[in-house]
């Protein structure tokens, strides 16, 4: 295991908060030490060391004598410019790590060395512990089933294999070679992602999990539950992102939500979903058109051809309605049985003027639905062909302000539907202007 320490400085005391002392050598003998040197080598005081040690080699194990002698001779000649780190030297039943820096001096007009020695045993131990933690961290990440990425401003610094596989990348090396992984974030979410990253680095945003959609490297789209937090990476702030693929869960939730909001047979909104959709127009007091549609003589179809054919007739009307209402920013719902309801905002010109023609947009849409549906050929038993028809009641324009006004709009539209039925069916009936005045109350 390599210990990475900066030992080239002439003042290493700045890097280590450890014991430091000086020893003076001449002709390989110890001629002076300070109290710190005595304590480093296990003596009670400087006098105890000087009284018991003659040559410097008595302070260190025999295995180090050659190295120390070689450095001593080089230093005396002025050939040493850098310090030396000695790791795990056994001294008095302890393993010491010492840093030495020798300076040539003269004592009694003869060459000598003044050697600064720093006990960095605790520093080396701490560095080893840090490296072991780092090794364990990387081992844990590489074996984790969760994807983990560490980045600075979206420049990847570390990534595990699980992240690579989840995101459809080629390899860990390919990801680390990238300048940025911002490309996997949908374009409309990138600004928010960058703001959040900056906020996390600034300590302004607490860590929390959230579900996001990513455009993966292989072109697929997936949903991930992500947890991002700030970490220290080689002395600098970085963001660690842990991801879990929840695409299946999101798809299931979307399917369940769709089922909750839509009618199973026709895939249009259910009655409860229609009321949820109407909350926004109510709040904004939107001027809207309303259509109620009911299949004519539907009971006879069921009695003559059976419920499965009847279901086909209902689905066909639903699809016809959706086709003509899709471009109007409106909503289609199954109101019950063979009856459907439609709402869409009142159309305006580019100048903001309400379109108010003899053939209103709502009436035009209703007539097109009526005409297309009655021309459709259905197949009954023994491939018997038959046609159906629909009656439609329309309120062209009404501003809904309250739930009461909404109920009034539906009621007067139902009255128009009743008139269409009474007048022979297979037709559109539009409420006269002012029929929905009550809706504003």
Residues marked active site are found at: 338
* 107 touches 26 (CB < 8 A): yes
Q: In Å, how far are 184, 244, 270, 300, 366 from 389, measured between CA atoms?
A: 51, 52, 22, 12, 12
* 243 touches 225 (CB < 8 A): yes
Instruction: In whole angstroms, give the CA distance from residue 337 to residue 307.
Output: 12
Enumerate residues 6+ apart whose C-beta is below 8 A from 129: none
Among 426, 365, 434, CA closest to 397: 434
Instruction: In whole angstroms, give the CA distance from residue 135 to residue 2.
Output: 12
3-state secondary structure the chain: CCCCCCCCCCCHHHCCCCCEEEEEEECCEEEEECHHHHHHCCCCCHHHHHHHCCEHHHHCCHHHHHHHHHHHHHHHCCCCCCCEEEEEEEECCEEEEEEEEEEEEEECCEEEEEEEEEECHHHHHHHHHHHHHHHHHHHHHHHCCCEEEEEECCEEEEECHHHHHHCCCCCHHHHHCCCCCHHHCCHHHHHHHHHHHHHHHCCCCCCCEEEEEEECCCCCEEEEEEEEEEEEECCEEEEEEEEEECHHHHHHHHHHHHHHHECCCCCCECHHHHHHHCHHHHHHCCEEEEEEEEECCHHHHHHHHCHHHHHHHHHHHHHHHHHHHHHHCCEEEEEECCEEEEEEECCECCCCCECCCCCCHHHHHHHHHHHHHHCCCEECHHHCEECCCEEEEEEEEEECCCHHHHHHHHHHHHHHHHHHHHCCCCCEEECCCCCCHHHHC
* Residue 404, both tokens: 């009461």
* 330 touches 341 (CB < 8 A): no
């Amino acid at each position: 295991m390599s210990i990475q320490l900066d030992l080239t400085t002439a003042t290493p005391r700045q890097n280590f908060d450890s014991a430091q002392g000086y020893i003076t050598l001449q002709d390989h003998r110890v001629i002076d030490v300070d109290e710190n040197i005595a304590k480093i080598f296990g003596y009670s005081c400087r006098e105890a060391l000087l009284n018991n040690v003659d040559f410097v080699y008595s302070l260190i194990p025999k295995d180090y004598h050659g190295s120390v002698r070689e450095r001593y001779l080089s230093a005396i000649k002025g050939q040493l410019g850098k310090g030396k780190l000695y790791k795990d030297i056994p001294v008095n039943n302890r393993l010491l790590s010492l840093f030495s820096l020798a300076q040539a001096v003269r004592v009694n007009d003869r060459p000598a060395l003044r050697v600064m020695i720093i006990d960095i045993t605790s520093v080396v131990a701490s560095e080893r512990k840090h490296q072991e933690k780092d090794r364990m961290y990387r081992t844990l990440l590489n074996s984790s089933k969760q994807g983990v990425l560490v980045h600075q401003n979206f420049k990847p610094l570390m990534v595990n294999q699980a992240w690579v596989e989840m995101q459809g990348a080629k390899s860990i090396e390919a990801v680390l070679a990238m300048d940025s992984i911002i490309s996997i974030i949908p374009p409309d979410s990138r600004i928010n992602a960058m703001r959040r990253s900056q906020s996390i680095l600034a300590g302004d945003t607490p860590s929390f999990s959230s579900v996001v959609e990513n455009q993966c490297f292989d072109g697929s789209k997936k949903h991930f539950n992500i947890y991002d937090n700030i970490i220290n990476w080689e002395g600098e702030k970085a963001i660690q992102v842990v991801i879990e693929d929840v695409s299946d869960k999101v798809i299931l939730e979307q399917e369940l939500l769709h089922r909750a909001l839509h009618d199973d047979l026709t895939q249009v909104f259910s009655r409860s979903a229609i009321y949820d959709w109407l909350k926004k127009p109510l709040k904004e007091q939107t001027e809207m058109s309303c259509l109620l549609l009911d299949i004519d003589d539907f009971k006879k179809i069921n009695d003559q051809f059976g419920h499965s054919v009847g279901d086909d007739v209902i689905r066909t009307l639903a699809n016809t309605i959706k086709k003509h209402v899709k471009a109007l920013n409106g909503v289609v719902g199954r109101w019950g049985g063979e009856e459907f309801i439609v709402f869409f905002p009142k159309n305006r010109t580019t100048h903001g003027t309400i379109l108010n023609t003899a053939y209103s947009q709502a009436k035009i849409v209703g007539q097109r639905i009526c005409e297309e549906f009655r021309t459709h050929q259905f197949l009954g038993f023994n491939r018997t062909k038959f046609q159906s028809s629909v009656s439609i009641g329309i309120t062209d324009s009404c501003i809904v302000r309250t739930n009461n006004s909404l109920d009034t709009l539906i009621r007067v539209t139902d009255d128009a539907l009743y008139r269409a039925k009474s007048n022979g069916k297979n037709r559109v009936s539009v409420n006269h202007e002012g029929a929905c005045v009550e809706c504003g109350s």
